[in-house]
Structure 1
Amino acid sequence: MQAPALPVLDLQQLAAGGEQKQAFLTQLAEAARTVGFFYVTGHQLGQLQQAVMQQTRAFFALPEADKQRLDMVNSPHFRGYTQLQGELTQGKPDLREQFDLMNEETATVLADGEPQWWKLIGPNQWPTQLPQFKAVISAYQAELTQLTVTLLRAFADVLEQPADIFDDGITPPYTHMKLIRYPGSHDKAQQQGVGAHKDPGYLTIVTQDQQSGLEVLTDDRGWVSAPPIEGAVVVNIGELLELASDGYLRATYHRVTSPAGELERYSCAFFMAAKLNSEVPLLQLPAQLKAQALGPSADPNNPMFYQVGENVLKGRLRSHPNVAQVHYHGFCQAC
């Protein structure tokens, strides 16, 4: 069996403490600083992973009319169903359909002058035809939230910061989950399952089915595949964590290539960021780490903001201009 192109980290080492914990942190630092992507095993997700994939397949198998009743355009909070080619990456439509949800909350009523990103807070849309869907997906969201908090505290250790350095901003964190179906493509010119991009938050966790498609851009090998490994999840660094670490931790371009022919690919992508009303801390790194930091990358077409809500809303407006047009009149020019 060919060795994976990305590092594989065992979370049980972190839990064990002592030399095993230090070995985990050394691997984590190297993976995050050089490629920004890695697999994680040794977690407790187990059967819940399988249940989520089952519910994901069941949702996308619903009649089109049932899915359309949950269209994201109904939601000023950017939650719900998006049909094939309904989301844009770098201005081009992605060949995927998806269902988006965040923390289940009461919608915020904005007073005059309050920032528009408060409108991201609110309830999800749920498919009533699938009685187990809400419970399974919500349980997985809670487990992944805890996993990202565990990893973020490990990153604090790697960066030689106090263990609670991120705690004020992630109590609780802002989370966003996508359930995704990538249909097969017979057209080699239309294989953008999702275009090359970096994720905007702190951390992303991807749960894959058995079908490959995720690819990561590396410095020395170009695009490499991140195929599914039994039981493992894929973790990658987001731009806000790169920003906080002054570029010591890397947010990396990645994409999904559509499966060929009649094949399909299902996945669940979970994104974790700080609270919307917080700012990304600029960490004061020790000299030896600061010397290795490359500095956060700059993209004039995608400016980064230390204010989290502003950064999250920017990404939503760019990806879903139809929702922006209905619920954020006057703001779409900013996307």
Structure 2
Amino acid sequence: MQLQSLPVLDFSRLNAGEQEAAAFREELREVLHEVGFLYLTGHGIEQELTESILDLSRRFFELSEDQKLAIENVNSPQFRGYTRMGGELTDGKTDFREQIDIGVERSAVPADPDTANYWRLEGPNLWVQELPEMQAVVGEWTQRLSEISMTLLRAIAESLGAEPDAFDAAFGEKAFPLLKIVRYPGESNPEPKQGVGQHRDGGVITLLLVEPEKGGLQVEYKGQWIDAPQVPGAFVVNIGEMLELATNGYLKATLHRVISPLKGTDRISLPFFYNPALDSTMPQLAVAPEFQEKARGLSVDPLNNPILETYGDNALRYRLRAHPNVVEAQHPDLLAG
């Protein structure tokens, strides 16, 4: 039977008594095993905060080109800041979008020959002077979505027969979440154009918010593409390759893509990626035998695109591929010889 739309799960069931929480965990496990994507309602994020971050996103993209380029990512060793239209690649092809990358606000790690290269990703963000309130709103958004993500990870671990805190050590105070604030301009006319090419997320868990009544996201399921438009009051949730690695493929990191909107329209999208500390390795979960039997192994090409055990190695590799202009400007020593 072909799936017509993504499953919907109510996050608030985790606080509705143990029987209801256990049923939620079971459904969550099955959906992430079979599909790898879902809609999450009942998450408790206030509409006021959602409207505030969407409004700030709109206002940023309405700034002049010079104002946006003042925080262009080529000025950031951490690959933070603004990426101009066509400035990112997925699977070697140009994505038609502009965006801001915002990570955890920390000090840069001093360069040292004995320091792993992935520590170059740790450091400060770039902020536009014209929107001084943006940092506080993004900070609250990041904190709230981090809490939801960690609660989901604990539910996932418990649903698989592992200890609920199995992932805690990999995250802790050095977790490495990343928020992208993205604008897709209308490029389809009506032939579909690539907003973002097909890919699997490389981290652990993703929470996505899109402007109301805007579509474009498509999820692969059994060889077919399923449309996943924004559902009012819900996040789209999916898992990345590091969680697939932790469960030997029992949980599914699913291919997805974004189709550019029609000409004359656009789309604001806020994907939030909850990832472990750069120097952490994902634990191999002590998955219960009945689930181990259904583990499918990893879905990636182990020779050409292996999942590396240390999260920072994966994160840096993705950045090097997606933003060669930043590598040339900030990390020429990492250019392939």
> Is 1:157 aligned to residue 152 of structure 2?
no
Q: Distance in 1 between matches of 2:182 and 2:308?
A: 28
Q: Distance in 1 between matches of 2:188 and 2:73?
A: 28
Counterpart residue number, 1:209: 211
Counterpart residue number, 2:252: 250
Counterpart residue number, 1:12: 12
Amino acid at match of 1:25: R
Counterpart residue number, 2:32: 32
How many correspondences in the alignment? 331
Structure 1 residues 53-92: Cα deviation after superposition (integer angstroms, max 9, x where no partner): 1111010000010000100000000100001110000011
Amino acid at match of 2:329: V
Counterpart residue number, 2:148: 147
Q: Distance in 2 between matches of 1:274 and 1:164?
A: 14
Q: Distance in 2 between matches of 1:113 and 1:188?
A: 52
Q: 1:269 aligns with which of 252, 268, 271?
A: 271
Counterpart residue number, 1:69: 70
Q: Distance in 2 between matches of 1:78 and 1:266?
A: 21
Query: Cα–Cα, structure 1 residues 208 and 186, in superposed 2: closer, same or farther, change >3 Å?
Result: closer
Asked whether the 8 Å contact 1:94–1:193 carries over to 2, the reply is yes
Asked whether the 8 Å contact 2:81–2:100 carries over to 1, the reply is yes
Where do 5+ consecutive residues of structure 1 fail to align? Answer: none
Asked whether the 8 Å contact 2:103–2:177 carries over to 1, the reply is yes
Q: Distance in 1 between matches of 2:188 and 2:289?
A: 52
Counterpart residue number, 2:314: 311
Structure 1 residues 102-122: Cα deviation after superposition (integer angstroms, max 9, x where no partner): 000011102222111111110
User: Superposed, which structure 2 residues align to 1:224-303 within 5 Å?
Assistant: 224-299=226-301, 300-303=303-306
What is the alpha-carbon root mean square deviation over aligned residues? 1.5
Counterpart residue number, 1:21: 21
Counterpart residue number, 2:113: 112
Q: Distance in 2 between matches of 1:110 and 1:132?
A: 32
The secondary structure found in structure 2 opposite 1:333 is: coil
Q: Distance in 2 between matches of 1:125 and 1:60?
A: 15
Structure 1-normalised TM-score? Answer: 0.96
Shift of 1:307: 0.9
Asked whether the 8 Å contact 2:11–2:43 carries over to 1, the reply is yes
Shift of 1:308: 1.0
Counterpart residue number, 1:94: 95
Shift of 1:306: 0.5
Shift of 1:14: 1.1
Asked whether the 8 Å contact 2:96–2:185 carries over to 1, the reply is yes
Shift of 1:302: 2.1
Counterpart residue number, 1:138: 139
> Is 1:324 aligned to residue 299 of structure 2?
no
Q: Distance in 2 between matches of 1:63 and 1:34?
A: 44
Asked whether the 8 Å contact 1:182–1:259 carries over to 2, the reply is yes
Structure 1 residues 293-334: Cα deviation after superposition (integer angstroms, max 9, x where no partner): 111112243221011111110011111111111222232328
Q: Distance in 2 between matches of 1:205 and 1:162?
A: 23
Q: Distance in 2 between matches of 1:43 and 1:128?
A: 32
Identity of aligned residues (%): 41
Asked whether the 8 Å contact 2:74–2:329 carries over to 1, the reply is yes
> Is 1:171 aligned to residue 184 of structure 2?
no
Asked whether the 8 Å contact 2:244–2:298 carries over to 1, the reply is yes
Amino acid at match of 1:22: A
User: Superposed, which structure 2 residues align to 1:180-199 within 5 Å?
Assistant: 180-187=182-189, 191-199=193-201
Shift of 1:186: 4.3
**Deviant stretches of 4+, over 6 Å:** none
The secondary structure found in structure 1 opposite 2:336 is: helix
Structure 2-normalised TM-score? Answer: 0.95
> Is 1:41 aligned to residue 41 of structure 2?
yes
Asked whether the 8 Å contact 1:4–1:226 carries over to 2, the reply is no
Q: Distance in 1 between matches of 2:192 and 2:100?
A: 22
Where do 5+ consecutive residues of structure 2 fail to align? Answer: none
Q: Distance in 2 between matches of 1:298 and 1:62?
A: 39
Amino acid at match of 2:13: Q
Q: Distance in 2 between matches of 1:94 and 1:297?
A: 23
Asked whether the 8 Å contact 2:182–2:269 carries over to 1, the reply is yes
Asked whether the 8 Å contact 2:192–2:259 carries over to 1, the reply is no
Asked whether the 8 Å contact 2:247–2:285 carries over to 1, the reply is yes
Q: Distance in 2 between matches of 1:324 and 1:190?
A: 30
Amino acid at match of 2:305: N
Q: Distance in 2 between matches of 1:272 and 1:189?
A: 34
